[in-house]
Chains A and B, each alone.
Chain A
């Protein structure tokens, strides 16, 4: 049923740290790999090796530039996958019941056998988290790696989403955001975790940690400066006299003119 559960026992989701993400796209690749080989229809590509490649991805990394009033601009890498919204508009619009939100853990999933591929759920998602697979004709979205996190055949360390497991910068965290004592909830509290597009009223479970204010601006960074002070100050004595004498020769140029 596409009625949303009034509440869910747990709110499993991701916390994405925009301060530490280095924009390497490793999570994009590991997500694509895991979800092509496992749950549901594979994520297809068209013209993968040609001039106009395009394909289905459940997680994509954008890059944004922030220009503050003062100081240098800052680049922020911005991974985006389904935010497993509490008030998921993608679920309620679905005519077939293929889209649903689980009452036990809040994960939003698509039952691909019931999906008619009408695309309306993707229209209803403000974040671009759903993509209709061009080859399979069914809606694909992040499953929060539901086939890993409960998978007892995997070593315990791997029972987290593929993107979380892969991220070399530790920028993606997985946990229960409904439990205020969980690691992820505490991280959100400590770092001022935020919702994307709060005005859309979707109440996303996933949170984003804003980039920390940069302390290491260019002017502070110059740790070698003291050692690089000009060695030759104004010369005195014989060398000073020679310098000036050479300057006065026809054709010689002064330091000012040269600089």
Chain B
């Protein structure tokens, strides 16, 4: 799939923002007043900023409200509802915490649950797609939820929890890559099934429909070299997971190291998210002879 900056930024930052909201809703840390204001500002900037970025790739963003209508079948529509609900409920909780110095615990718990549900629905947009075998696996929601929780804990300053969650998220990340690498081959979809021409012999794409490129090739067919991919995976693992864990367990100067850990995590996750899209093989590539399987 085409690794569009808008979707990479959207999924990375909204995951972080809703992760932070989740921890704040649970009272971890139990902040009020100015500290709360500062943390909520970060959370809302990430979550809302991410959602806004996602509208940049729309052909008609002015009709975005229509996306709320099909929650019965569409994960994208559910995500729209859940994100707005989470932002509103957490808004009430944040208002009370910042300006009234009170923590409305039940509201916070509801907000945390809605934040979790929002990230789940985002991940289901990808995991539901049978056409992208690499994504069509429970590890995709596990991956996105794990990252959102770990990143949220990191931003919320929950250092021990963050270190543990990062370790789990790293394991899920590696598993997602491992399982993903053979997903297309295991899916049973190949050029023979795509064309139905496998019975008489070996099928090979001989000529594409047009000499130039087209929407399908631009959107769905992105090929990442093996070496390039290995390098980026290493970068994602090191900066997204490894370095932050190391920085978190160093006892000295927690604030400075915490900030460094967050920056490193963000850089690593952006690399991971780029790979998430760029390495995802859509089966339509088979028709163009662009996939080995």
Contacts and interface: CB of A to CB of B under 8 A. Distances in A.
Given A128-B220, A128-B284, A137-B60, A75 B206 contact: yes
A62 B208 contact: yes
Interface stretch (A91-99, A161-169, A171-179, A230-238): A91-99
Contacts of B77: 95-96
A127 B288 CA distance: 11
Contacts, number: 203
A128 B216 contact: yes
Interface in B62-76: 63-64, 66-70, 72-76
Contacts of A80: 287
Interface stretch (B19-27, B104-112, B128-136): B128-136
B30 interface: no
A125 B131 contact: yes
B59 A128 contact: no
Interface in A59-112: 60-69, 73-76, 78, 80, 89, 91-98
Contact of A65 (B196, B206, B283): B206
Contacts of A54: 210, 212-215
**Which of A64, A69, A137 is the most central at the interface, judged by chain B CB atoms within 10 Å of its CB?**
A64
B189 A92 contact: no
B207 A138 contact: no
B200 A68 contact: yes
B158 interface: no
B48 to A, nearest CB: 18
Given A118-B58, A124-B129, A3 B196 contact: no
Contact of A195 (B58, B129, B196, B214): B196
B14 to A, nearest CB: 15
Contact of A95 (B69, B200, B207): B69
A210 B197 contact: yes
Contacts of B282: 123
Contacts of A131: 214-216
Given A67-B202, A116-B64, A122 B207 contact: no
A65 B201 CA distance: 9
Contacts of A139: 59
**Which of A60, A126, A139, A194 is the most central at the interface, judged by chain B CB atoms within 10 Å of its CB?**
A126
B201 A116 contact: no
B204 A65 contact: yes
Interface stretch (A5-13, A151-159, A198-206, A244-252): A198-206
B250 to A, nearest CB: 43
A3 B69 CA distance: 12
Given A62-B209, A131-B216, A210 B196 contact: yes
Interface in A37-62: 52-57, 60-62
B212 A53 contact: yes
A201 to B, nearest CB: 7
B76 A120 contact: yes
Interface string A127-146: 11001111011110000000
A157 to B, nearest CB: 28
Interface of B: 1, 57-61, 63-64, 66-70, 72-77, 80, 125, 128-132, 187-189, 191, 193-197, 199-210, 212-216, 219-220, 282-284, 287-288
Q: Which 7 A-B pairs have the closest CB atoms?
A: A117-B59, A137-B59, A68-B201, A60-B209, A128-B284, A95-B77, A95-B76
18 contacts: A2-B72, A2-B73, A54-B212, A65-B205, A66-B200, A66-B201, A67-B201, A96-B63, A96-B67, A116-B66, A119-B57, A124-B129, A126-B194, A126-B284, A127-B284, A131-B215, A132-B215, A199-B189
